[in-house]
A and B are shown apart, each in its own frame.
Chain A
Amino acid sequence: MATIELKDVRKVYGGNIDAIKGVSLDIADGEMIVLVGPSGCGKSTLLRMVAGLEGISGGDVVINGKRVNDLEPAERDIAMVFQNYALYPHMTVKQNLAYGLKNRGTPKDEIERRITEAARALEIEAFLARKPRQLSGGQRQRVAMGRAIVRKPAAFLFDEPLSNLDAKLRVQMRVEIRRLQQSLATTSIYVTHDQMEAMTLADRLVVLNAGCIEQVGTPIELYEKPATTFVATFIGSPSMNLMTLGDGIGWTGPDGAGLPPDATIIGIRPEDIVIADGSLIGGFCTRVQVIAVELVGAESYVHGAAENGSIIVCRVPGRSIIGIGETLDLAAMPDRFHLFDRDGKRV
């Protein structure tokens, strides 16, 4: 049980390469924070700085009110789950789980008790005597989780723990991690580049871009009110359509004029765009030529090219019968608009 505070944390490599440019964040006790961003945005570096595997160039990392900048990873009372699991290949599953406790001088019967408890929670009781190489990817993942749980640390740190699993298993483990984290109520930081994973797991999401925080908020907040165009396009799939106003994309109806003066970019999510049947009263409307239709089962994504060349994606329920080359009028209501200024900030 712990709170984690990041105070203007910085990381500079080789004297001049800024990997993390001043990140501040308060994480409440028991909260699941997901750091998400494209590769190279510094999310893993930030996590490793909290873990103590990476030096801190500036600012403070505070765990439970205690500054831990100069503490060894083992002294920070955290547990980490690695992307490649990092299980000790020469030890059995049980020895893997016991290793961290043994190093801390936990009594034998206590170790035994905790392993039994964790093994039951993760359903790995049957594999305790096996070596990691005899386990499947999903089972190894569970053992890696188990190694974190038995320690009963103040915080869990997850470094893209599911990216080595296949899609089906990933969904399953995602649910399980969430369930486990909630039942243990342990403060967690979870790093991923998968926005789906981020949306489903997080109490609060932190979107990182080029070493800076773009936005912090609940998944729904970020989805409904993205603070920047970066967040707008990063969260949600297919990503939000962004169009520059006055760029040849047509406005119909009287409402078009009512936009704030400094709004230069308009963003509309694919599900907010409808195929106009001519009766739409106001807002946004443009004519596109269909260039691609993606059928994903329950819905279809129609990609259309507007007259000025920009591509607009629109979500259509069910299996679309729209053919490539057809001309469509796409429309959206003004209350669905996300407006951004010239620098990509929300208006």
Chain B
Amino acid sequence: MIKILLFAYLQEEIGKDSLSMETDGCSVQQVKNYIHTHYPTINLDQVMAAVNEEFSFDEDVVKDGDVIAFLPPVSGG
């Protein structure tokens, strides 16, 4: 099981700030596919992923117990 964190407009469009996904391990891309399957209207094109609080690429691996966050382009400051 992995935990998926959502922020900014993703959180509002999905209506939750986190999701969980049953898996022993998969790629970041597969987590994106999971979101597309369940929330087909969500656009993740400009969204960065962070696994355990580090920026990650689509091919990086997410393991059981990891936290993956989807981060829209940031706008702090």
**A and B form one complex:** no
Write the residues of chain A forming the contact surface with B, with a CB cutoff of 8 angstroms: none
